[in-house]
Amino acid sequence: MAQSIKSRFEDAKERYAQIGVDAEKALAALEAFKISMHCWQGDDVTGFDHDGPLTGGIQTTGNYPGKARTPDELMQDADKAFSLIGGKHKLNLHACYAVFPGGRHDRDVIEPRDFGAWIDYAKGRGLGLDFNPTFFSHEKSERGSISNADPSLRAFWVEHGKASIRVSQAMAEATGQPCVCDFWAPDGLKDEPADRIGPRRRYMESMDLVLKEPHDPQKVFVALESKVFGIGVEAYTVGSSEFTVAYAASRGIVPLLDNGHYHPLEYVSDKIPSLLLFFDKIALHVTRGVRWDSDHVLRLNDEVKDIANEIVRCGMDRVFAGTDYFDASINRVAAWALGMRNFQKAMLLALLTPHDELRALQDEARFTELFARQEALKMMPVGDVWEMFCEKTGVPGEEAWLGEALAYERDVLLKRV
């Protein structure tokens, strides 16, 4: 006769107690850890404020049926995804997802009321909100946005940045949760630049103007995100890692690290403890780059597990964590759930690790024991603890969640024509 989830968990809890880990405490910490789920997985980064193509060096591939076409459909799909993910989280929005109550207007004059539908959505479900200015997929971003050499175009994007801070402030006040306002611009050049410092100086000066917009720094955490390259800007990206981190440090804002935005052998997990020596908080977009930044759905791979370990070791309250990927080749709701659940599994593994003991082994140069203990942890019954997490948070376990996602596909997604 098969053991119940509770019985299997009690056995697992006893085994973890033998190595000095409190599994109940780990479950509570995991349930309290908020992940900001990106809205753009549900509609392939299309948004609702324009009719043009996706631009800015990013690309969604695939044509799986059931893409959300309206705000209501996107909210419905997000609801289904959240029903498969344990805990209460946040929803991350781009400015291009405005739902204009009185007709469209341009990005330099967006207002909090343009996101009132999303604010109501979050408040009704106890979710937090994060926000991103959208510096791509717009006719005025064809030759760059916030670093544009044309002063009038640059001014347009500065106003968009200021408006985005106002929207973020309204979101934080409405939900009672801090809002990360993340600035990422795809500005760059396809081929070798004649001037590298000029665009970066303009980016710096533009951001200085944006930051003059009044806001409560305990409610709105302005973040700056880097990138190595994108499609069409392969040779030079204005917002490099060195630029964004130096700017964030000098202006007292938050650096945001996307683990798809670096060289494939450059690990964000290694950057987290370095930056947290100098920043009170950092922000993360967790994704899966394949060779280069390709924004694949998260797997429970070594880098995601290492990122989770550093979050736990360095302080979970010091990291704003979110996901960022878009895959149109598979069921989009399942993609949301897969990535978020895998991030949570990585966090659970980290929370079930006796970090103090392992740290002591390293400090005492007992490397044989450290090696052996790290390997032994891989065989611990984390799966039984995970099933209890699903049970406690009221979401389906590993044998059931996919069936729910596929039933939703059959009953809802495939009926969209």
> pLDDT per residue over 7-23, tens digit each?
999 999 999 999 999 99
For 92, list phi and psi in degrees, rounded to 5: -100, 125
Same structural domain, 82 and 183 = yes
Same structural domain, 296 and 188 = yes
Query: Does the pLDDT value for residue 2 go beyond 70?
Result: no
Range in 112-116, 165-169, 242-246, 264-268 with the lowest mean pLDDT? 264-268
> pLDDT per residue over 349-371, tens digit each?
999 999 999 999 999 999 999 99
* Choice between 71 and 62, residue whose per-residue pLDDT is larger: 71
Taking Cα atoms as reference points, which of 191, 194, 202, 186 lies closest to residue 237? Answer: 186
Three-class DSSP labels, 102-167:
CCCCCHHHCCHHHHHHHHHHHHHHCCEEEEECCCCCCHHHECECCCCCCHHHHHHHHHHHHHHHHH
Distance CA 348, CA 385 (A): 8
Among 335, 351, 367, identify where a domain stops: 351
Report which DSSP code applies to 64. Answer: -
How many percent of the chain have pLDDT more than 70? 99
* CB-side neighbour CA atoms (13 Å) of 350: 26
Domain span holding position 164: 33-351
Distance CA 414, CA 417 (A): 8
Same structural domain, 320 and 177 = yes
> Span 307-329, mean pLDDT?
97
For 237, list phi and psi in degrees, rounded to 5: -115, 125
Same structural domain, 314 and 194 = yes
Distance CA 130, CA 167 (A): 10
Same structural domain, 369 and 245 = no
Does residue 139 sit within a domain? yes
Query: Does the pLDDT value for residue 333 go beyond 50?
Result: yes
Tell how far CA 361 is from the center of its chain: 33
Among 295, 328, 351, identify where a domain stops: 351
**Which residues are catalytic, by number?**
184, 225, 227, 258, 261, 285, 293, 295, 324
> pLDDT per residue over 15-54, tens digit each?
999 999 999 999 999 999 999 999 999 998 999 988 877 7
Does residue 390 sit within a domain? yes
CATH number at residue 65: 3.20.20.150
Same structural domain, 260 and 272 = yes
Same structural domain, 362 and 344 = no
Query: Does the pLDDT value for residue 57 go beyond 80?
Result: no
How many percent of the chain have pLDDT more than 90? 89
> pLDDT per residue over 179-221, tens digit each?
999 999 999 999 999 999 999 999 999 999 999 999 999 999 9
Q: 307, 273 in Cβ contact below 8 A?
A: no
Single-letter residue type at 77 = D
Q: Which residues contact 308 (CB under 8 A, 6 or more apart)?
A: 343, 346, 347, 349, 350
Across all residues in the chain, what is the average pLDDT?
A: 95
3-class DSSP state for residue 417? coil
Q: 294, 260 in Cβ contact below 8 A?
A: yes
pLDDT of amino acid 291 = 86
Same structural domain, 97 and 238 = yes
Taking Cα atoms as reference points, which of 332, 405, 339, 411 lies closest to residue 45? Answer: 332
> pLDDT per residue over 134-178, tens digit each?
999 999 998 899 999 999 999 999 999 999 999 999 999 999 999
Among 351, 371, 406, identify where a domain stops: 351
Q: 181, 131 in Cβ contact below 8 A?
A: yes
Same structural domain, 12 and 112 = no
pTM of the model: 0.95
Does residue 27 sit within a domain? no
For the chain, the domain total comes to 2
Report which DSSP code applies to 66. Answer: -
> Span 83-100, mean pLDDT?
97
Q: Confidence band (pLDDT; 50, 70, 90) for 56? A: confident
Does residue 169 sit within a domain? yes
Same structural domain, 126 and 262 = yes
Taking Cα atoms as reference points, which of 263, 357, 340, 356 lies closest to residue 304? Answer: 340
Does residue 66 sit within a domain? yes
Query: Does the pLDDT value for residue 222 go beyond 90?
Result: yes
Same structural domain, 324 and 415 = no
Does residue 28 sit within a domain? no
Does residue 91 sit within a domain? yes
For 200, list phi and psi in degrees, rounded to 5: -70, -35
Q: Which residues contact 320 (CB under 8 A, 6 or more apart)?
A: 36, 130, 178, 180, 221, 223, 254, 281, 282, 283, 284
Same structural domain, 14 and 122 = no
pLDDT of amino acid 1 = 46
